[in-house]
Each structure stands twice: as structure tokens, then as C-alpha cells.
Amino acid sequence: MNILSIALLRAWVFLMWNAQQLIAYIRGKRSVFIPITDLRIVYCDNGLLVVDKSHELLLNSIHPWQNYVTLQMQLFFALPRLADFTLDHMYRFVHRLDAPTSGLICIAYSPKMAGLAAKAFQNRTTKKLYIAVVWGHVQDSTSLDRARLPRSDYLPTLNINVSHCTEMCTKTGDMEYLVDFAIGDLLFSWPEGRRQKIMVPDWTPNCWRPRSAQTKVTVLKHGFLEGSPASLLLLEPHSGRRHQLRLHCALGLRGHPIAGDLLYGRLYGDGDSVEIIKDHRLPRLMLHAYSLHLELVPKPPRVKGEKKQERVDGAHPQPVELYFESSRDMLQGCHWVDAAVFHSL
């Protein structure tokens, strides 16, 4: 593609990016405006790009030239030279982040790096840390507050036995917990008739394709968000399931959903609670991908005539370790007040 074509495409993307956000805002479907130039590049070298993503931004779309408000189009506007038009999404997204979640995301712009990074995530030689704010003070006790067991009106519809919640979370240290239960898909029908795929614990009837999931939870602070008790948590997922952190907080922490979670807060929270009402007032889901540690293991060099399983002695490259940290402040624009501090980042 020549320079003129790329320039015209960038101008079109800029126009449609702003137009679609404006239309969505007027219709009440969007509450935040993201400038297309707000692309925070943390790292760009050796075929790897790490971006600090905004909240309320999809990674990509199956119809990229119809839905323009995506990280994919933001990347194309800023870095068209890295786009590969032979790919469905123009860029190789190594892992996923939900649209409402902000923070670090890896993109590979060379096939070799895409393979190395994908293998690192597959072999779990990566470490991802998230910051989250949940409603309520997560207590330092041998068992979490049973009074906060989920009591949503939707629990009978989901056929979830909340007594299982007392078995899913164990205390592992000072203000540290391990949430451990498998999760799977469920096509849920809302009372208004809308159907939506959600994640549910594996003991839920009609749960499809359940897979094991573990999350380490560290309580950093107790405080108040919008005047209501809340806790600042550090979350370390030991697996990468869809909506894992949101479900593990809402159910595994026994009624402490992530603030601003209009899906799982509604499903597993008390529908009349002050927290649910305030979820609609918050500017975002209070979940942020804070840090990322990668250990990339390059393939050993091949020697001409060498058999597939043979390698030259001493020719195994050393792993390359990369560490990235986000500079975005998730609490910016929110009324958060510290109370007790237990751990620091």
C-alpha cells in the first residue's frame, strides 16, 4: 500500500473514530470519549509492542472497517507501518483484555515474536498483576464475612448454591487469599428477554466447557469509594479465563464484586444495595492490568543437516526477561479515600 493510500485511510479512520464515539455518546451508549491520539506505548522493539490500553476500548472487531473505536484502529492510526493486511485484525494480539479493563497488552509485529510470546503465555512463563477496587472491606480472618454471601435475585435463575462460596477461598497469608474454582460458559437470559454469554462456576447447571481457574488476592488497602466501604486489591491470575477476575471477586470473595462491574455486580450482588446503584455512577470498571513480566525462550539455532531433535552443545539461548509497568492511575476521577494500608505495590 502506497503512502497516499495510507494517508487517506488514516484520515478516514480519524473521522470515523470521532463520529462513532459522538453518536454513541448522544445515544447514551458511551460515557467516556477517548482521543485517537491517546495511545500510550510502553515498549516497541524486537518485534514486540506493549501498549497501556484505555478503558472502554475493544481490542479489535470482526468488522474492523465498520467498528472503528478499537485498539486495532488506534494502532493503525499511530503505527500504520506495523500493520499486516494479510491478517484479519492487522496486528497480532498475543493475549486478551476485556473492553472495560485498562492496562498493559502485548502485540507482536513479527511472526517470530508472535510465536515466542504465544508460547510464553501457553507455558505460563508470564506473570500478570492487576489492580482492582471491590465493594466492601475484605476482612483479614480465617473465613470471609459470611454476611456478604451473594444474595442476588438472579441466583435462583442461575441455580447457584451460594453455600459453595464458603469453600472456594482460602487464606494463605497476611491479608492474602487464594480463590480456586473452575469456570465455564453459560448463555443467560435476562428478564427483559436479552440473552448474553456469561461465565459461571463449574457446578452451575448447563455450564459449558468448565476449566480450572485460580487467582491470588492480596488486600492492599481498605478505604472508601464514593463514600462506601471498598478495598484496593492486587490480583494475580494463575490462569487466563474469560472474566476470571470479575467472577472470582464477585463469588470467590463472597459478595465483594469489582466496583463498576455492571454484569457480575448485578448477577451476584444485592440488587437494592447502595453499591449497585453507585456502579452506574462510576466512570469505569475498577480493574486495571498493572504489570506484566515476560520470559521469552528463543529457539536454539539449527545446523544444516542436523536432525530435528538434535542441537549443538551449548547453543541453547538464554531466556530473555522483560518487565513492564503501567503508568495509568485507575483511581483518577474517582472519589477514593484511604483507610487502613496493609501492603504496598
pTM of the model: 0.89
pLDDT of residue 142: 40
Q: Are 324 and 291 in contact (CB under 8 A)?
A: yes
User: pLDDT band for position 291 (50/70/90)?
Assistant: very high
If DSSP codes are grouped into helix, strand and coil, which group holds residue 286?
coil
Label the pairing between strands 287-296 and 102-108. parallel
Distances (CA, A) of 256 to 104, 111, 144, 275, 283: 24, 41, 10, 10, 19
pLDDT of residue 123: 86
Query: Among the ranges 140-149, 167-176, 183-192, 285-294, which has the highest mean pLDDT value?
Result: 285-294
How confident is the prediction for the chain on average, in pLDDT?
A: 86
- For residue 10 the three cell numbers come to 488514516
Q: Are 109 and 47 in contact (CB under 8 A)?
A: yes
For the cut 80, the answer to whether the pLDDT of residue 277 exceeds it is no
Q: Which of the two residues, 78 and 275, has the higher pLDDT score?
A: 78
Contacts 24+ apart (CB under 8 A), 85-94: 85/1, 88/62, 89/60, 89/64, 90/64, 91/49, 91/60, 93/59, 93/60, 94/118, 94/121
Q: What average pLDDT does this structure show over 284-308?
A: 80
pLDDT of residue 311: 53
For the cut 60, the answer to whether the pLDDT of residue 268 exceeds it is yes
Q: Spell out the domains of the chain, with CATH numbers in brackets.
A: 1-123 (no CATH), 130-288 (3.30.2350)
Q: Which of the two residues, 282 and 304, has the higher pLDDT score?
A: 282
Q: What average pLDDT does this structure show over 97-103?
A: 95
Q: Which helix (H) or strand (E) holds 179?
A: strand 176-180
Lowest mean pLDDT among 105-109, 160-164, 234-238: 160-164
Beta-carbon count within 10 A of 48 CB: 21
